[in-house]
Structure 1
Amino acid sequence: MQSYLPREKGAVVMDPKNDIELQRTSPDRTIPSSTQKSRIYPTDDDEVLIRLGKRPLLNRSFGFMSILGLSCSALCSWEGILVTSVPSLLTAGPAAVIWSFVVGWVGITSVYTVMAELSSIAPTAGGQYHWVAMMAPKSCSNFLAYLTAWLTVLAWQAIAITTSYLITTTLQGIVVLAQPSYVPLPWHTLLIMWASILLAVLINSTTGRFLARFEGLILMLHLAGFFGILVPLIYFAPHNSASFVFTTFFNSGGWEAQGIAFLVGLPSIASTLIGADCAVHMSEEIQGAATVVPQALLYTIFINGSLAFAMAITLIFCLTDIDAAMAAAEAMFYPFLEVFRSGVNSTTGACVMAAVVLVLAAASSVGVYASASRMIWSFARDDGLPFSGKLVKLTKGSSLPINAIFSTLGIAGLISLTVLGSAAALSALLSLIVASLYSSYSLVCGLFLWRRLTGGFHDAGDAEIRPGGLLWGPWKLPEPLGIANNMFACLYSVFLLFWSFWPQTVNPTPETFNWSILVFGTVVLFSVIWYIMQARRVFKGPIKEL
């Protein structure tokens, strides 16, 4: 713990009796430790962290609009649907894209509502694994928290690499669109990926204040760019009929029933709205985190869901020649580039529109890498990673987790080398995202439901709070709506996790096989073995006072 650097806000002192840290926020006031039973939910951000057993070390540079900008841009939803719609479109038809998105939007809204309640209770950078440790039975709390942390850390690293890969291939697709003689080579892809990774890391290495202002600007570009793409397609592109868009299904994967074809394409569409929990992992840098983080989660899902839904409908309406779009994708990576060109009937216009998507995708990588590095920093703070003592160090003055940021650079740079091999190898790594994040969501939602049904949470004004009881945060759903939503979130998380392991076709090749089950199983097995052999001796969970 000596590697932590206290913030300039005040000196950190220790309670000699129970080793609980006290944060002096002014010369005249010392925040009490969380072992003292308060009847009022703490309103000071640092006091909330201390109640949870965490030292307030990071500068709180983010307000509501800046963290909303970070989460909206990191989610990259309307831009992402241009890519994630392809598997469902090919497997189950155009209508499957639309209705899969509706199902995914409803489901993820329910899940993030649960996470909004939990982020109000415990707004820490650890997010899911901190909540699991907080709610799980004592006998298995450390192990479940450790497993959840590993899955979340690796998922965010995979999201970071995925974002860089999408940026790279979009840029190469634009070049092919403008100059058809260009042939993208694997080493071209690798170098561009490294450049995009370096750019995201450099921006993250400035200051929290600059990052907050940057994300506020990106929010405006995110909204303006949407209309910059939508309006030309609506006005200039030829359109399909409404029946084609909303009622045309087909089964090209060889499945026994149309319903199965629909469901195997659901996870790819649902991934468009995954990752809004980046706001959670930035909690310790947000002012008023107990209320701002829940608001940012739900506003992000509403805004990005609306934009992505509108873009999905527009894309399918303008996809008048599916065969031509898919054929062009073999050279340009993504069908939407051909849709842009045929829609505005101009290569230059299509390149400009695609450049808008490229810039916003590059901007989204900044928020993604910020969240990925904070997860590493948080897990290292609890001695869950190798070299934890190095990874938790902060810069003086700006209090940035600089070693965690650059470790993300190193991990992404190394894993990106897989592009020099087969596409299946990279696909296997990237398939970790949906499976790992939804497994953590499932565990969190299940434990939360168990806790709230057994009276594990209490309002701040309750006269009696039994030992082990937890306080509700300032933001929560009223009952019985909260329980009903929690139940639905559990069902949806398990449901999507199950379908995330299915391939798109009955007889997949190594290139089309869904490697999620192999990668996910390997990560879980490694985590269990490493926990038994080593981690259980050093990892004692993030919760110190419950």
Structure 2
Amino acid sequence: MNGGLELDTIDDKGLQKSPYHSEIEPVTKEERDAQVLARLGKKSVLERRFGFISILGFTCTILITWEGSLILFTTGLTNGGSAGLVYGYLLVWAGTISVFTTMAELASMAPTAGGQYHWVSMLAPPSIKNFMSYIMGWLVICGWQAILAGGGYLAGTMIEALIQLNNADYVPELWHGTLLFWATVLVAVFINTVTSTILPKIEAFILVVHVIGFFAVLIPVVYLAPNKASAHDVFTQFSNGGAWPTQGLSFFVGLVGNVFAMFGCDSAVHMAEEIKNAEVVVPWSMLTTTVLNGALGFGIVIAVLFVTTDVTAALSSPTGLLGYPFMQIFYDATGSKAGASVMIAIIIIMDAAGTIAFLATASRLVWAFARDGGLPGSRFVSKLQPKTAIPWIAVIITSFIACLIGLINIGSATAFNDVISLGVSSLYASYIITESFLLWRRLTGAIRSPTDVANDTGEANQLIWGPFHLPGIFGILVNAFSVIFGIIIFFFSFWPVATPVTAPHMNFSVLMTGSVVLFAIVYYVLVARKTYKGPIVEVTPYQLQHGGSLGMAK
């Protein structure tokens, strides 16, 4: 699995093999990170504050899988029922592992904040690489922008539902949710700017809350629940609440809820230029997150299904009608509004913490794409805060757009949900395209071993495997499965939840995704094709080895 680990071998004298020269050279860890980034044509200008534990906390917070599984409980229960939710979760978990294992290979090969759009520029045929890279940049940025808006929205509306649980006279309004959404985003802005230097410590602390919070919810719910469903009911009872022609079709429609709770691990990639030893830490943090969060999520799903003896009552409860039946399930299990409220508060806090990480990820993407000239006003957008080396303008722009999106919710919650569903379709489109190009390149033998220095040209963006690499047929099968799984999820991300389909309940995410692609194509043809030439090469490995500036942040 770890072919090419020679790149990371340091002897007891602090000497390390250069990836482009066979002789032994003294290289510090900081210089090594700069060398890796130089392979991609980039200077190291961001402060590398994150280590393995802090970025693991960051990615676990992005996924918040056990929390998200509860938040999005309704989707799987409506289409699939308890059994569909269980087996659908396992399928999505396996697919997600394959997707992010493939992404981990790419992250090890090219750990850059640009992620997918940079990878496509490296992997696509020369005749279309600039065009595909540009479209990919817009897809990924819009996808993460939608995820940021979704995180703030969920936090705001969950607070409304919690108030409803404790005060039956409260009448939630759409604008209440928007104001709470804005408050959540403003907190995320504060932490990403004013306290940005301690963000890694915050993320490490959140990782602890994430794990402890799991047990703080699981144990009371299971222990205090007065009644429990049978194993037969949990593992064999399917439901077709969407009235689809077949149960199988209903099952696939219901997969999207589990996908929402388990995607976005590429966030670590977009933080790569702020991570020490990124070519190793990023891929392993992605895989560790997917396995750890998947296990916690599966545990909470099974537990809650066993204590939910009346699914219909949970769905039709006041909190269920607001989209959060798990709150009623907590109350029914504990018999205490105070106890249920504490457990619900843990989930709200974790979602708000996720919004902090969503903003960090989205802003790094905006900054990286602007650095490469992919956005209007790129020179201004790509500016860094001098003292902290934080892309503060990108943070402000990203959060401002999210707050504007929040206004849509005041007019129509359905229209707003269609906007935030753009997250799944856009990111999975980027996964499919990028991983397809990788599969093509590895099948044609275009990606060289890191030990193959004989054919090295000293240029940037060469196709060379990184330290994390699945060799041979095993890697090919994982890549192929990830592409097939991605296509299935992408296809069903456009489906409505029930039939007959009416305008208020139509899933317009296909329109949103298509609009993003169409805009990117038109803008590229009219403007960007003259200015965007793919990721800009700021420094080559050859220049770095022969006196070029490391460009490292101080």
Same fold (TM over 0.5): yes
Q: Structure 1: where are the runs of 5+ without partners?
A: 1-30
Instruction: Say whether residues 1:336 and 2:329 are aligned partners.
Output: no
Of 415, 418, 421, 1:431 maps to 421
Contact 2:49-2:276 at 8 Å conserved across structures: yes
Conserved 8 A contact 1:40-1:461: no
**CA contact under 8 A between 1:61 and 1:208: conserved in structure 2?**
no
Query: What is the CA deviation profile of residues 172-215 of structure 1, one whole-angstrom value per residue up to 9, with x for unaligned ones?
Result: 11111111111111222121111100000110003543000000
* Alignment partners' CA distance in 2, 1:92 and 1:221: 31
Deviations 1:35-75 (A, max 9, x none): x9545999711111112111111000000000000110111
Which structure's relative contact order is higher, taking Cα pairs within 8 Å and 6+ residues apart?
A: 2
The partner residue of 2:361 within 341, 362, 371 is 371
Cα displacement (A) at 1:535: 1.1
Q: Which of 470, 477, 486 is the equivalent residue of 1:484?
A: 477
SS at match of 1:294: helix
Question: Deviation of residue 477 (structure 1)?
Answer: 1.2
2-structure distance, mates of 1:386, 1:71:
30
Displacement of 1:520 in angstroms is 1.0
Q: Structure 2 CA distance, aligned partners of 1:102 and 1:465? A: 43
CA contact (8 A) 2:148 2:359 kept: yes
Partner of 2:534 in structure 1?
541
Residues 458 and 465 in structure 1, CA contact (< 8 A), matched pair in contact too: no
Alpha-carbon spacing, 1:393–1:511, altered in 2? closer, same or farther (3 Å): same
Q: Distance in 1 between matches of 2:492 and 2:405?
A: 26
Percent sequence identity is 42
The equivalent residue for 2:545 is none
2:544 aligns with none
Q: Which amino acid aligns with 1:168?
A: G
- Is the 8 Å Cα contact of residues 176 and 332 (structure 1) preserved in structure 2? no
> Does 1:210 pair with 2:203?
no
Distance in 2 between residues matched to 1:466 and 1:543, nearest whole Å: 20
For structure 2, list consecutive stretches of 5 or more residues without a partner in the other structure: 1-15, 542-554
- 1:227 maps to 2:227: no
**Residues 92 and 258, structure 2, Cα contact 8 Å, conserved in 1:** yes
Structure 1 residues 135 and 79: CA distance shift in structure 2, 3 A: same
Kindly report which structure 2 residues correspond to 1:94-133, keeping only aligned pairs within 5 A, or say none.
94-133=82-121
What pairs with 1:49-128 in structure 2 (closer than 5 Å)?
49-128=37-116
The correspondence of residues 124-143 of structure 1 with structure 2, limited to 5 A, is 124-143=112-131
Aligned to 1:9: none
Tell me the SS of whatever aligns to 1:396.
coil
Moved beyond 6 Å, runs of 4+: 40-43
Q: What CA deviation, in whole Å up to 9, does each residue of 1:227-286 have, x standing for no partner?
A: 000001110112111111111112222222211111111122112111111111100000
Q: 1: CA distance between counterparts of 2:229 and 2:520?
A: 49
Q: 1:469 to 1:51 in 2, by over 3 A?
A: closer
Tell me the amino acid that sits aligned with residue 406 of structure 1. I
Pairs within 5 Å for 1:497-512: 497-512=490-505
- In 1, the alpha carbon distance for the partners of 2:48 and 2:263 equals 25
Could you tell me how far apart the structure 2 residues matched to 1:363 and 1:256 are? 40
By how many angstroms is 1:543 displaced? Answer: 5.6
Paired residues of 2:21 and 2:453 also in contact (CA < 8 A): no
Map of 2:511 onto structure 1? 518
The amino acid that maps onto 2:525 is I
Match of 2:158 in 1: 170
Residue in structure 1 matched with residue 520 of structure 2 by the alignment: 527
Secondary structure of the corresponding residue to residue 72 of structure 2: helix
1:281 and 1:374 in contact (8 A); partners too: yes
Q: In the superposition, relative to structure 1, how do residues 390 and 244 fare at CA in structure 2: closer, same or farther (>3 Å)?
A: same
Residues 1:295 and 2:288 aligned together: no
Deviation at 1:510, TM superposition (A): 2.3
CA distance in 2, matches of 1:176, 1:479: 55
* Aligned residues of 1:120 and 1:475 also touching (Cα < 8 A): yes
2:20–2:456 CA contact under 8 A, matched in 1 = no
Distance across 1 between alignment mates of 2:320 and 2:484? 37
Q: Once the two structures are superposed, what CA deviation does each residue of 1:411-470 show, in whole Å capped at 9, x if it has no partner?
A: 011110011101111011012111111100001110000111111111122254377851
User: Residue type matched to 1:125 in 2?
Assistant: A
Give the paired residue count: 514
Cα separation, 2, equivalents of 1:110 and 1:297:
11
Cα deviations across residues 459-518 of structure 1 (Å, max 9, x unaligned)? 122254377851111111122211111111111111211121222223212232111211
Counterpart-to-counterpart distance in 2, 1:206 and 1:373:
15
Q: Per the alignment, do residues 463 and 194 of structure 1 end up closer, same or farther by CA in structure 2, a change over 3 Å counting?
A: closer
Structural mapping, 1:199-348, within 5 Å? 199-237=187-225, 238-328=227-317, 329=319, 332-348=322-338
CA distance in 1, matches of 2:433, 2:321: 41
Opposite residue 450 of structure 1, the aligned amino acid is W
| One-letter amino acid of the structure 1 residue matched with residue 325 of structure 2 | P
1:151 and 2:139 aligned: yes
Letter in 1 for 2:232: S
Q: 1:332 to 1:436 in 2, by over 3 A?
A: closer
Mapped contact 2:73–2:324 kept (Cα < 8 A): no
Distance 1:261 1:150 in 2: 32
Which amino acid counterpart does residue 361 of structure 1 have in structure 2? D
- Counterpart amino acid of 2:344? A
- 2:283 corresponds to which letter in structure 1? P
